[in-house]
Copies of this chain bind each other. A is one copy, B any other.
């Protein structure tokens, strides 16, 4: 067995806001002290992380003066420099301040929309200066609780306009930055625009610079809609759009739990690793979780370390599964590889299949052997093979 020690090539990253979450929720107040961004950096470095992701207001407050802003960024930069941690990714807080209560790019107030663009541009400058290659858009407040409040087609127009403007900005500045949209079905809004990976992928196809924009699917967000996250990222890979990933844990349709990676749908996590390995994903492996309110500072770091450890454990299992001769035989029994074979042979057209006939009853009787195959996977997950 491996020792499960994170290495730089694993590209593990954390949002500053994850370990920095103080535990405020709808029903209770903060249980932990505020965490300056630089403290998160030093601690994450000591755990073996490779990089960090940040919102502008994870580093400095919404109302920070220029002097405070500079001081805070300076401390952040120094920590990055001291530790060698990479800023893999950045994003904008367009949800915390009351002015964003109705959204940012899709707020009914035009002034809010304009300010949101300015806020993103300013943080894009910082992100670029820190070397971030990916910039995330999680539109948590872009949505509605009721039907008349929001003209959805107009909202999609404005959403697209916003991203188009920002793509132009990045292009004209020459920043080597790509955008990634992070879908979520609901919470904190009753229904959020672009609720799933699919909706975001479709939306991207209608943008002005679709090649600059991909998706950042989060396990918990897809599972809140009861969707299979591994299927979701597989479709994103199929479209060439898996620009980033957010790993965590969730127990199906309920509030956004943001459990540490591994501590949710364990079988789902196994197949996530399988898709990432098979799909050749080589971006940052980002954990977007929240240490539960029951934890003190020590618990914060225990849970952060566990995210990386669980990833390494599951990766080892997935590799062992795919290398297991019994699995290889079972995959063949289940004709899994046959699906990679085109339905039409080279040179065939519809004419060649239009009269296809089969022994339907024989095909109906033939078992697929999936239970046996899946049990092998489960036994790899259990660590008994």
Contacts and interface: CB of A to CB of B under 8 A. Distances in A.
Contacts of A42: none
A107 to B, nearest CB: 8
A339 B149 CA distance: 10
Interface stretch (A45-53, A65-73, A80-88, A140-148): A140-148
A266 B263 contact: no
B99 A364 contact: yes
Nearest to A114: B356
B313 A382 contact: yes
18 contacts: A23-B101, A31-B101, A109-B335, A117-B353, A118-B357, A145-B294, A146-B374, A152-B230, A168-B349, A185-B254, A186-B226, A190-B257, A195-B198, A199-B199, A199-B202, A226-B226, A226-B253, A263-B374
Contacts of A245: none
Interface string A204-225: 1110000000000000000011
Nearest to A362: B99
A341 interface: yes
Given A106-B339, A196-B225, A382-B383, 4 more contacts: A146-B371, A295-B368, A309-B375, A310-B378
Contacts of A350: 117, 121, 165-166, 168-169, 172
A363 B103 CA distance: 12
Interface string A14-33: 00000000011111111100
B271 A147 contact: yes
B150 A336 contact: yes
A36 interface: no
Interface string A321-350: 100000100110011111111111000011
Contacts of A107: 339
A299 interface: yes
Contacts of A384: 1, 4, 313, 383
A317 to B, nearest CB: 7
A256 B26 contact: yes
A303 interface: yes
Contact of A161 (B101, B195, B227, B344): B344
Given A28-B97, A201-B198, A368 B102 contact: yes
A265 interface: yes
B198 A117 contact: no
A251 B250 CA distance: 12
Contacts of A360: 62-63, 97, 99, 115
A248 to B, nearest CB: 13
A9 interface: no
Contacts of A266: 266-267, 378, 381
Contacts of A297: 367
Contacts of A115: 356-358, 360
A296 B366 contact: yes
Given A255-B256, A299-B371, A382-B381, A117 B356 contact: yes
A338 B313 CA distance: 33
B377 A146 contact: yes
A252 interface: yes
Closest 7 CB pairs of A and B: A383-B383, A296-B367, A98-B364, A198-B199, A198-B198, A252-B252, A201-B202
